[in-house]
Amino acid sequence: MSDVLLLNGPNLGILGRREPEIYGTDTLDDIERAVGEEVAAQGWGVIAEQHDCEGALIRTIQNSYGTVGAIVNPGALMIAGWSLRDALADYPRPFVEVHLSNVWARESFRHDSVIAPLASGVIVGLGALGYRLAARALTSTVR
Ligand code: DQA
């Protein structure tokens, strides 16, 4: 069995109650289940991790080189998470960056991602559906 790494950064553990008008009402459990459904046909499982600390996210990446690929929502670490960026630079598999909200329709400090140049693709603004689409992208591109 191969696994996809589903990695969520700071403040994403409280999805469902966190600013639902921006991030929707799905919880992280709902999202983890949805990703699991998407990759099941491929015979893949999901390793789901959420951390509020950058170091814990980095350690997870360093311990996940055996995964088939990753779906990463770095939260606000997209803006200046250089250590997270460097960890992903050494991650040997493709990953898709996801943001629930349309970051470009929001405050200007959210308009840049230090992670995006390393990603296979970026999905923003489609809410929890973005994670399903990222999972589909991995199932159809990863060999
Ligand atoms: C987010 C967007 C970020 O700007 C914000 O800091 C988050 C969530 C999103 O999924 O829309 O924590 O990554």
Query: How far is the C-alpha of 134 from the C-alpha of 38, rounded, in Å?
Result: 9
Q: For ligand 1, what atom is nearest to the CA of residue 76?
A: 6
Q: pLDDT tens, 45-95?
A: 999 999 999 999 999 999 999 999 999 999 999 999 999 999 999 999 999
Q: How far apart are CA 6 and CA 70, in angstroms?
A: 6
| Selection from 136, 129, 118 nearest residue 41 by Cα | 136
d(CA 102, CA 110): 9
140 annotated as a binding-site residue: no
pLDDT at 1: 63
> How far apart are alpha carbons 135 and 5 in whole angstroms?
10
Ligand 1 center to 66 CA (angstroms) = 27
Res 12 pLDDT > 80: yes
Q: Is 136 in the pocket of ligand 1 (CB under 6 A)?
A: no
Atom of ligand 1 nearest to the CA of 106: 4
The contacts of residue 142 (CB under 8 Å, 6+ apart) are 68, 69, 93, 94
**Do 129 and 104 meet the contact criterion of CB atoms below 8 Å apart?**
no
Q: Which domains does the chain have, with CATH numbers?
A: 2-141 (3.40.50.9100)
The pair of structure tokens assigned to 67 is 């995964």
Q: In the predicted model, what is the mean pLDDT of the chain?
A: 97
What's the predicted TM-score (pTM) here? 0.97
| Residue 99 is a catalytic residue | yes
